[in-house]
């Protein structure tokens, strides 16, 4: 039985004899930049996204229709299976708003008005076009439980 180091040494010796050492170098370079991995797939994520697109159709705050992200209000990892797929646990957001929401730099109160963390900073807010007048375009009472969780556990 050979360990990986011994196997590589024997293989390189054999390839050197056959004039194929360049092939081994190429293989080693590819191994250094690529690897196989197992990935967990969020079952139901496409349905969740589709439901949010049906509900909001555009960014829930800006009205933008491009590059939208289906964002969970109560994070996926903290949600029960039914909460993970509940469209009222989601907002369709533009990229900057999604990143700020997920990082806890913004949230929304029970009237849908934006809440901006002081940790975001004026310069960053202005650069991303986030201002205190923003609010959710529509609001349903079924969002409240999830937004309450977000304000208590994610918002900074």
Confidence of residue 33 (pLDDT cuts 50, 70, 90): confident
| CA trace torsion 8, 14, 17, 21 (10° rounding) | -40
Q: Look up the pTM and report it.
A: 0.74
Confidence of residue 138 (pLDDT cuts 50, 70, 90): very high
The pLDDT score that the predictor gives to residue 31 is 62
Choose the weakest-confidence range: 21-35, 55-69, 83-97: 21-35
CA nearest neighbour of 97 among 51, 64, 146, 141: 64
> How many residues make up the chain in this entry?
156
Confidence of residue 105 (pLDDT cuts 50, 70, 90): very high
User: Is the backbone of residue 63 left (phi > 0), alpha (psi -120 to 50) or beta?
Assistant: left
Q: Output the 3-class SS for 71-90.
A: EECCCHHHCCHHHHHCHHHE
pLDDT at 55 over 70: yes
Choose the weakest-confidence range: 31-35, 45-49, 65-69, 145-149: 31-35
CA distance 85 to 109: 22
The pLDDT score that the predictor gives to residue 22 is 56
CA nearest neighbour of 101 among 127, 136, 66: 136
């Amino acid at each position: 039985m050979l360990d990986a180091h011994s196997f590589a040494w024997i293989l390189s010796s054999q390839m050197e004899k056959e004039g194929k050492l360049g092939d081994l170098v190429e293989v080693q370079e590819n191994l250094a930049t690529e690897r196989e991995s197992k990935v967990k797939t969020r079952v139901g994520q496409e349905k969740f996204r589709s439901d949010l697109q049906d509900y909001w159709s555009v960014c829930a705050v800006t009205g933008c229709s491009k590059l939208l992200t289906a964002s969970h209000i109560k994070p996926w990892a903290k949600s029960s299976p039914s909460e993970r797929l509940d469209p009222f646990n989601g907002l369709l957001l533009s990229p900057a708003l999604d990143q700020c929401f997920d990082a806890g730099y913004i949230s929304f109160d029970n009237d849908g008005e934006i809440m901006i963390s002081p940790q975001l900073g004026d310069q960053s807010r202005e650069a991303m076009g986030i201002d205190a007048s923003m609010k959710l375009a529509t609001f349903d009472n079924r969002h409240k439980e999830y937004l309450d969780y977000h304000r208590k556990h994610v918002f900074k």
